[in-house]
């Protein structure tokens, strides 16, 4: 779990109930957010000494867990416990665990015994395990995993045998892809290349030697897109370009040599031997990835890919050859039909762009003009999701900062239309900037909380409901012109946490909460995907936030019109962190049209519900299958047949093999009903014969 960043980064998204003043719950410890441990407890670490603190949102509940254990905040949450890189005089820097209590804050495993250090890093949660890297004498830095117990904390594999490390701390980029983890590492024969693991030593193997031999390809920016992973990699012939992998060697290849030759499209060489990256990662919209690359002429090109070579194409040139681009896809905001992002050329252009995924639909939405070429629109993104629309204030509005000569850098809002895109308020007097120096914000159901400067009280805590009169100072925490510089953190246990300086000690930060009882926004899907795995269908979804969420139902349709519930999953209820869910639709049979349609319904405890997008799944041409619709039939047993080419013969037998019923059905039939009302109670077999292949199913009457 990475620590929250507040300078030019996205705050977490939550809701809020009331508006009144603030309460200081901790003074002068400079507590920095680690994250929510449970629905009631939030973890912090002190920037002064690294010690871990826990809070439920009151002064009395904000306590130091163990004065002898400190952390830099690197770690992951697993089953209500935080597994982290910690330091103590006895154990050095090693693997620790806390459940939010003094006695429950302990060393999990002394990987490098006694006061020597293993320096754990690269934490990632996957399938009930926390994966991380650590150093150990004789092995170097390698891949480990833990289930939260000492005996369950083990080395996955010594990837680079001997004492040499397989990579440096923070560079493994361990990223889930289905049941695998994809990461960057160095084996004994090759450089730093793409690897995968299923959690076992035997299943931890290189995917592909992208830059053959000893030289590194150093895969980075690993980003899932459906069933594949996108990333950048370096080769001697092509430079650093865009690649993809499905976890196999054959499925790992460069998508496009955008800048032909050895320089690569993701970096610009300023002078020989010195280059800067223009890439900035991938943005996902409508199941496609968008990224910035140069083609050797124009430096700011927007490309799009669906993960295939044929469909990796130039969408639009945003910045030409004369200037260095600053194109912020990192905080692009998705609406249902388009996404928005900021573009600057560092020389006068300051623009908000929109794109619907087509070249003609990728246009300048609004231009701003400001003399400071380093100030350009910054979208206040709620969170980064994989698909669909982001959370928006009141369902259709996002906030952003933008600068004009007349008003300086101020708070704006947009509903995705030009008419609905306006400056909210000129907070700074005249041309002075209201959004000044500190970028920190947090969305709520009643408005936006953010840091702003009105010119007389310094940078303080403000809130806005999107109107000029509703944009007001919450409290002058550090009275007078000196700033308190509030940093919004998160909502947990009904409390909105933020840090600020009251001036008591100028270099320290105090911890505050907004008074009132706060509730997060309703559950929102970060992703919803449907994958065919053998005869089964795997349905996977993720939520970023949940508030009073009851359950999910999974629905399936053969015609995209009539949907039937095929399963139910309980929700976490209330959560401020990423939650992953999975449901299996077993032994799926496709209708004659060859397609099935799936959707997810999210139910809140008040009975309200929200529908996901509908995902279409196609069957496998040339294959056939059979499936019972009910395992405890009454007068009939229903059977679905998929992919029949000719007549199928069906027999019902008892366990001794005695034939009780035979039928023949042609390829036009998909669902059939077999009469079994005359059969006695017991266990029976249905056998389907088709083109030399046999499938047997069991039912109970």
Task: Please name every residue paired with 155 in a beta bridge, in sequence order, or none if there are none.
Answer: 144
* Domain end position, chosen among 573, 590, 618: 618
Residue 344 predicted with pLDDT over 60: yes
Instruction: Tell me the per-residue pLDDT of 157-198, one tens digit each, with 9 for 90 and over.
Output: 999 999 999 999 999 999 999 889 999 999 988 999 999 999
Of all residues in the chain, the percent with pLDDT exceeding 70 is 89
The pLDDT of 128-145, averaged and rounded, is 96
Give residue 311's pLDDT band: very low, low, confident or very high (50, 70, 90): very high
How far is Cα 331 from Cα 8, in angstroms, rounded to an integer?
10
Of all residues in the chain, the percent with pLDDT exceeding 90 is 54
User: DSSP character for 486?
Assistant: -
Identify the residue with better confidence: 519 or 321. Answer: 321
* 631 found inside a domain: yes
Residue 128 predicted with pLDDT over 50: yes
Residue 454 predicted with pLDDT over 70: yes
pLDDT for res 634: 60
Same domain (yes/no): 582, 564: yes
Are the CB atoms for 34 and 45 separated by under 8 Å?
A: yes
Instruction: Tell me the per-residue pLDDT of 436-449, one tens digit each, with 9 for 90 and over.
Output: 888 899 887 778 99
Three-state DSSP state, 48: coil
User: Residue 630 sits in which domain range?
Assistant: 625-700
pLDDT for res 522: 57
| Integer-rounded Cα radius of gyration of the chain | 28
The pLDDT of 2-14, averaged and rounded, is 31
Surface-to-core class of residue 685, CB atoms within 10 Å of its CB (0-12 exposed, 13-18 middle, 19+ buried): middle
* Domain end position, chosen among 565, 587, 618: 618
Are the CB atoms for 609 and 563 separated by under 8 Å?
A: no
Same domain (yes/no): 611, 694: no
* 424 found inside a domain: no
Q: Which residue has the tokens 């690197």?
A: 74
> Model's pTM, two decimal places?
0.75
User: DSSP character for 613?
Assistant: -
pLDDT for res 533: 74
Identify the residue with better confidence: 216 or 687. Answer: 216
The pLDDT of 505-523, averaged and rounded, is 81
pLDDT for res 447: 84
HSE of 304, CA atoms in CB hemisphere, 13 A = 15
Tokens of 28: 């002068």
How far is Cα 131 from Cα 403, in angstroms, rounded to an integer?
43
Same domain (yes/no): 630, 612: no
Give residue 9's pLDDT band: very low, low, confident or very high (50, 70, 90): very low
Q: Which residue has the tokens 């681009």?
A: 325
HSE of 18, CA atoms in CB hemisphere, 13 A = 10
- The closest alpha carbon to 268, from 292, 234, 294, 235, belongs to 294
* 679 found inside a domain: yes
Identify the residue with better confidence: 358 or 651. Answer: 358
Are the CB atoms for 85 and 119 separated by under 8 Å?
A: yes
User: Between the CA of residue 473 and those of 444, 451, 463, what are the distances in Å?
Assistant: 16, 9, 7
Same domain (yes/no): 530, 613: yes
pLDDT for res 229: 94
The pLDDT of 52-69, averaged and rounded, is 96
What number of residues does the chain have? 701
The pLDDT of 265-274, averaged and rounded, is 72
Identify the residue with better confidence: 700 or 192. Answer: 192
The pLDDT of 369-383, averaged and rounded, is 82
Instruction: Tell me the per-residue pLDDT of 634-682, one tens digit each, with 9 for 90 and over.
Output: 677 777 777 666 778 888 888 777 888 888 776 555 677 788 878 888 7
Instruction: Tell me the per-residue pLDDT of 405-418, one tens digit each, with 9 for 90 and over.
Output: 999 999 999 999 99
Q: Domain tally for the chain?
A: 2
pLDDT for res 97: 97
Same domain (yes/no): 594, 656: no
Residue 690 predicted with pLDDT over 70: yes
Identify the residue with better confidence: 12 or 40. Answer: 40
Same domain (yes/no): 576, 655: no
Same domain (yes/no): 604, 654: no
Same domain (yes/no): 582, 559: yes
* Domain end position, chosen among 586, 618, 650: 618
How far is Cα 364 from Cα 295, in angstroms, rounded to an integer?
21
* 341 found inside a domain: no
Average pLDDT across the chain, whole number: 86
Are the CB atoms for 192 and 165 separated by under 8 Å?
A: no
* 177 found inside a domain: no
User: First-to-last CA distance in the chain?
Assistant: 51
User: Between the CA of residue 366 and those of 408, 431, 445, what are the distances in Å?
Assistant: 16, 20, 27
pLDDT for res 332: 93
How far is Cα 549 from Cα 582, in angstroms, rounded to an integer?
17
Are the CB atoms for 379 and 340 separated by under 8 Å?
A: yes
Give the contacts of 416 (CB within 8 A, at least 6 positions apart).
Answer: 335, 338, 340, 354, 396
Residue 250 predicted with pLDDT over 90: yes
The CATH number that applies at residue 677 is 2.60.40.1930
* 550 found inside a domain: yes
Same domain (yes/no): 537, 587: yes
pLDDT for res 263: 81
The CATH number that applies at residue 538 is 2.60.40.10
**What torsion do the CA atoms of 248, 250, 252, 253 make, to the nearest 10 degrees?**
180
Residue 15 predicted with pLDDT over 50: no
Are the CB atoms for 65 and 105 separated by under 8 Å?
A: yes
pLDDT for res 393: 79
Tokens of 284: 């996902």
Among 22-36, 386-400, 483-497, the range of highest mean pLDDT: 22-36
Same domain (yes/no): 613, 637: no
Instruction: Tell me the per-residue pLDDT of 86-102, one tens digit each, with 9 for 90 and over.
Output: 999 999 999 999 999 99
pLDDT for res 272: 66
pLDDT for res 574: 66
Same domain (yes/no): 591, 640: no
The pLDDT of 531-539, averaged and rounded, is 80
pLDDT for res 12: 30
Three-state DSSP state, 101: coil
Give residue 384's pLDDT band: very low, low, confident or very high (50, 70, 90): very low
Strand segments (E) across 246-369: 253-256, 267-271, 274-277, 283-285, 288-293, 300-305, 313-319, 326-334, 339-344, 350-355, 363-368
* 685 found inside a domain: yes
* 610 found inside a domain: yes
Q: How many CB atoms lie within 10 A of CB 149?
A: 10
């Amino acid at each position: 779990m990475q620590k929250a960043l507040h300078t030019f980064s996205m705050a977490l998204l939550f809701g809020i109930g009331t508006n009144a003043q603030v309460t200081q719950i901790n003074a002068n410890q400079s507590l920095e957010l680690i994250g929510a441990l449970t629905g009631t407890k939030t973890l912090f670490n002190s920037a002064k000494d690294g010690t871990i603190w826990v809070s439920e949102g009151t002064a009395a509940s904000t306590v130091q867990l163990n004065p002898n254990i400190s952390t830099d905040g690197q770690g992951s949450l697993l089953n209500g416990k935080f597994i982290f890189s910690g330091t103590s005089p006895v154990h050095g820097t090693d693997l620790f665990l806390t459940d939010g209590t003094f006695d429950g804050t302990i060393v999990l495993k002394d990987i490098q015994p006694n006061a020597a250090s293993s320096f754990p890093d690269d934490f990632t949660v996957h399938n009930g395990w926390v994966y991380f890297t650590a150093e150990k004498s004789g092995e170097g830095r390698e891949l480990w995993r833990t289930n939260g117990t000492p005996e369950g904390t083990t080395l996955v594999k010594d990837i680079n045998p001997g004492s040499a490390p397989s990579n440096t701390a923070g560079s493994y980029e361990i990223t889930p892809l289905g049941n695998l983890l994809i990461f960057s590492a160095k084996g004994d024969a090759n450089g730093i290349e793409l690897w995968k693991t299923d959690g076992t030593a035997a299943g931890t193997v290189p995917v592909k030697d992208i830059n053959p031999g000893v030289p590194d390809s150093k895969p980075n920016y690993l980003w899932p897109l459906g069933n594949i992973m996108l990333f950048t990699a370096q080769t001697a012939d092509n430079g650093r370009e865009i690649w993809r992998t499905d976890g196999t060697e054959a499925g790992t290849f460069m998508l496009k040599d955008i800048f032909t030759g050895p320089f690569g499209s993701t970096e610009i060489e300023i002078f020989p031997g010195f280059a800067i990256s223009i890439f900035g990662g991938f943005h996902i919209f409508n199941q496609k990835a968008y990224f910035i690359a140069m083609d050797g002429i124009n430096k700011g090109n927007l490309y799009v890919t669906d993960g295939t070579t044929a469909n990796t194409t130039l969408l639009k040139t945003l910045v030409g050859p004369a200037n260095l681009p600053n194109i912020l896809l990192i905080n692009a905001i998705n609406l249902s039909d388009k996404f928005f992002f900021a573009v600057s050329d560092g020389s006068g252009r300051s623009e908000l762009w929109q794109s619907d995924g087509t070249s003609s639909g990728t246009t300048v939405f609004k231009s701003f003009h400001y003399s400071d070429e380093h100030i350009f629109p910054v979208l206040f993104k709620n969170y980064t999701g994989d698909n669909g629309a982001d959370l928006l204030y009141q369902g259709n509005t996002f906030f952003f900062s933008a600068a004009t000569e007349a008003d300086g850098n101020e708070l704006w809002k947009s509903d995705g239309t030009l008419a609905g895109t306006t400056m909210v308020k000129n907070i700074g007097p005249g041309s002075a900037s209201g959004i000044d120096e500190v970028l920190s914000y947090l969305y709520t159901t009643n408005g936006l909380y953010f840091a702003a400067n009105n010119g007389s009280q310094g940078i303080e805590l403000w809130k806005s409901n999107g109107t000029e009169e509703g944009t007001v100072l919450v409290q002058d925490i550090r009275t007078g012109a000196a700033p308190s510089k509030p940093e919004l953190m998160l909502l947990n246990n009904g409390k909105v946490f933020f840090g600020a300086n009251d001036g008591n000690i100028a270099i320290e930060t105090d911890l505050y909460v907004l008074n009132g009882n706060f509730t997060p926004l309703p559950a929102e899907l970060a992703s919803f995907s449907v994958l065919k795995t053998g005869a089964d269908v795997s349905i996977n979804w993720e939520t970023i936030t949940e508030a009073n969420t009851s359950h999910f139902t999974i629905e399936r349709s053969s015609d995209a019109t009539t949907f039937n519930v095929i399963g139910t999953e309980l929700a976490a209820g209330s959560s401020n962190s990423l939650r992953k869910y999975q449901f299996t639709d077993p032994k799926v049979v496709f209708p004659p049209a060859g397609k099935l349609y799936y959707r997810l319904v999210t139910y809140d405890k008040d009975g309200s519900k929200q529908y996901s997008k509908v995902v279409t799944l196609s069957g496998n041409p040339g294959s056939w299958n059979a499936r019972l619709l009910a395992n405890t039939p009454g007068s009939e047993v229903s059977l679905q047949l998929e992919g029949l080419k000719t007549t199928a013969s069906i027999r019902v037998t008892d366990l001794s093999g005695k034939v009780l019923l035979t039928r023949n059905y042609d390829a036009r039939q998909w669902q059939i009903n077999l009469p079994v009302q005359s059969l006695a109670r017991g266990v029976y077999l249905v056998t389907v014969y088709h083109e030399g292949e046999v499938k047997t199913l069991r039912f109970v009457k």
